[in-house]
A and B are shown apart, each in its own frame.
Chain A
Amino acid sequence: MAALVAVLCELAIALPFLVISPNTLRGVPGPLLVVIGVAASYLLGPWFGVPVTAVGVVLAVTIVGENAWAAPLVWLPVSVGAGFVGERVRHGDELRRELIEELRRGLVGIYRDPAVGRLNVVSRYIPAVSAQRIAGDFYGAVVQPTGDVAIMVGDVAGHGPAAAALATRLRAMWRGLAVAGVSDSETVSALNETLLAEQQRIASQIPFATLCLATVAADLRSARIVIAGHPPPILVTARGTHEDTHPPGPAIGISATSTWAPHPLALPDDPWSLVVYTDGLIEGRTSPDGPRPYGRDRLLPMLATFAVPIGEDDVDAVLRSVQDANGGALPDDVVLITASPR
């Protein structure tokens, strides 16, 4: 099929040269040959397209005779060829945009209804500066068979389609295990094994991934936290903020012998919000000309200024505040989630 297209294109490009005047040709050859070369290379691949086009042009030029109306015949197919290229580029662009959008939806699909079990889960995903880039931040929230609500935020190290595709696989796997009621530490171990297995594949480029699992008990009195190399969650109440200070477990994908133990987080009777995020939130600048990172030291007091529960508008205000400090859009993707009792 490709060969047939190649031959037809070649004919379309070479035919006008059979009736063209060398004088006419003398005025146009530079840009013309470039365009033909580009078009042929794009359509046929450079190893085939360039030599074939060159041979075609040389043959055509040696055969041409006098003909006054040849010029349009040269430009017409060139335009058609350029149109082909433009169409291919446009189609490729469209496909790339769709793929990026679909990957993003797979990573951080926002649900219409923020209600998850007995919690309201507000989530934001801010892609990095360039919309054509894609990173590996992901999250999810599901109700477990016991009524517990499992919240997960993860970050695959690295960027691009490989990181994003792996992140969607890890997210789907997490969801399956969480819905089935598998324990948090077993879930992280299984994800670790999966990532280590992925790394055995040839040309694998993902060095590790970080995870934060926060599972809020159905009675809303406590949560279980498992950290794998990820910033710990922050509990916000009317009395201020409390950052989970247990030593974190290692990131996944580094060692087959790593283990992760959950630790409890007591939840108060008065209103609270649990804030879970990816490091992109705290890695911007402290001020537009200041150093990096913004850091947890600044995030904690800022969160303390909000009334709980931290809702939709508050989450946007947090993001604005961090972006303002940075002096514009943040350099990396950001996921920010707050979970509060309904």
Chain B
Amino acid sequence: MASSIVFISAILEDPLADPEAVSVEQVEGASVIALRGEHDLSTGPAIEAACDSAWAHSSSIVFDLAGATFIDSTVVGVMVSARRRAAESGGSVAVVAPAGGPPARVLTLVGINDVLPLHETRDEALRTISAPG
């Protein structure tokens, strides 16, 4: 009972009630998942759902974090898992996170920019996805 009240109030007070906080669109044969605003554990399921819908349409995903003002390790985890899945299925994953921005700082600290290079713009990320290898 107590936990369901916490759960309900968490939904009611959710400051991330932006319906476009997570969006998926198809661009040049890749699925682009764009995140806006703040993202953490509470939006993790929405991002995972976006990934599922993205995989259904293409084997390549671009995470566009240019509009994200905050991400935590939950979001990084979703992207690392996506990269792993892409590597297993012959697809690819690219990340748009302009240098110096909040997402880029988190991704650089975790050190995944070695395996998941960061791109300045969506176009640049889409080019690496379409390029073979």
Q: Which residue of A lies closest to B108 (CB)?
A: A248
Known: A158-B74, A248-B109, A291-B69. A332 touches B40 (CB 8 A): yes
What distance in Å separates the Cβ of A261 from its nearest Cβ neighbour in chain B? Answer: 13
Q: Is the CB of A254 within 8 A of B40?
A: no
Question: Contact: B115 with A254, CB < 8 Å?
Answer: yes
Check if A228 is an interface residue, CB within 8 A of chain B: yes
Q: Which residue of B lies closest to A93 (CB)?
A: B3
B120 on interface, CB distance cutoff 8 Å: no
A-side contacts of B73, CB under 8 Å: 155, 157, 210, 279
Interface contacts (Cβ under 8 Å), in number, total 77
B-side contacts of A293, CB under 8 Å: 70, 102
CB proximity to B under 8 Å, residues A196-242: 199, 205, 207-208, 210, 228-231
- Give chain A residues whose Cβ lies under 8 Å from the Cβ of B76: 157, 207-208
CB distance from B104 to the nearest CB of A (A): 14
Complex Cα distance A109/B115, Å?
Answer: 34
Quick one: CB contact mask for A236-274 with B, threshold 8 Å, 1 for yes?
000000000000111100110010000000000000000
Alpha-carbon gap, A251 to B109, bound state (A)? 8
Q: Which residue of B lies closest to A249 (CB)?
A: B111
**Contacts A157-B77, A158-B77, A291-B69; is A331 near B41 (CB within 8 Å)?**
yes
1/0 contact trace for B90-123 toward A, CB 8 Å?
Answer: 0000000000001000000111101100000000
Question: Does B81 sit at the interface, judged by CB under 8 A?
Answer: yes
User: In the complex, which residues of chain A have a beta carbon less than 8 angstroms from the beta carbon of B69?
Assistant: 291-292
Q: A210-B73, A279-B73, A331-B40 are in contact. Are A251 and B110 (CB under 8 A)?
A: yes
For residues 20 through 76 of chain B, which have their beta carbon under 8 Å from a beta carbon of chain A?
38, 40-42, 69-70, 72-74, 76
Q: A250-B112, A251-B112, A254-B111 are in contact. Are A283 and B84 (CB under 8 A)?
A: no
Q: Residue B80 at the A interface, CB < 8 A?
A: yes
Q: Is the Cβ of B102 less than 8 Å from the Cβ of A228?
A: no
Q: How far is the CB of B36 from chain A (nearest CB, A)?
A: 13
Q: Assess whether B77 is in contact with A207, with CB atoms less than 8 Å apart.
A: yes
Please count how many residues in chain A sit with their CB below 8 Å of the partner chain's CB atoms.
Answer: 30
Q: Is A130 an interface residue (CB 8 A)?
A: yes
* Complex contact A159–B112 (CB within 8 A): no
Q: Does B6 contact A (CB under 8 A)?
A: yes
- Chain B interface residue count, CB cutoff 8 Å, equals 25
**Set of chain B residues within 8 Å of A33, measured between Cβ atoms:** none
Q: Which of B70, B74, B109, B115 contacts A157 (CB 8 A)?
A: B74
CA distance A305 to B78 in the complex (A): 38
Roughly how many angstroms separate A103 CA and B74 CA in the complex, as a whole number?
A: 20
Please tell me if A321 contacts chain B, counting CB pairs below 8 Å. Answer: no
Check if A11 is an interface residue, CB within 8 A of chain B.
no
Distance in angstroms between the alpha carbons of A129 and B14 in the assembled complex: 14
Let me know if B84 and A207 touch, CB within 8 A: yes
In whole angstroms, what is the CA distance A234 to B70 when docked? 23
Is the Cβ of A250 less than 8 Å from the Cβ of B114? yes
Cβ B114 vs Cβ A291 within 8 A? no
- Restricting to A62-84, which residues have a CB under 8 Å from any CB of B? none
B82, closest chain A residue (CB): A207
A283/B6 in contact, CB under 8 A: no
Contacts A157-B74, A291-B69, A291-B70 given; does A254 touch B41 at CB 8 Å = no
Compute how far the CA of A250 lies from the CA of B81 in the bound complex, rounded to whole angstroms.
Answer: 16
| A229 in contact with B111 (CB, 8 Å) | yes
Please determine whether A130 and B3 come into contact, CB atoms closer than 8 angstroms. yes
A229 to B80, CA, bound (A): 13
Across chains A and B, which 8 residue pairs bring their CB atoms closest together, nearest first? A250-B111, A207-B80, A157-B77, A207-B77, A229-B110, A292-B70, A157-B73, A229-B111
Q: Which residues of B contact A (CB under 8 A)?
A: 3, 6, 10, 38, 40-42, 69-70, 72-74, 76-78, 80-81, 84, 102, 109-112, 114-115
Q: List 29 A-B contacts (CB under 8 A).
A: A130-B3, A130-B10, A132-B6, A157-B73, A157-B76, A157-B77, A159-B74, A199-B84, A205-B81, A207-B77, A207-B84, A208-B76, A208-B110, A229-B109, A231-B109, A250-B111, A251-B110, A251-B112, A254-B80, A254-B114, A255-B115, A279-B72, A283-B40, A283-B70, A283-B72, A291-B38, A331-B41, A331-B42, A332-B40
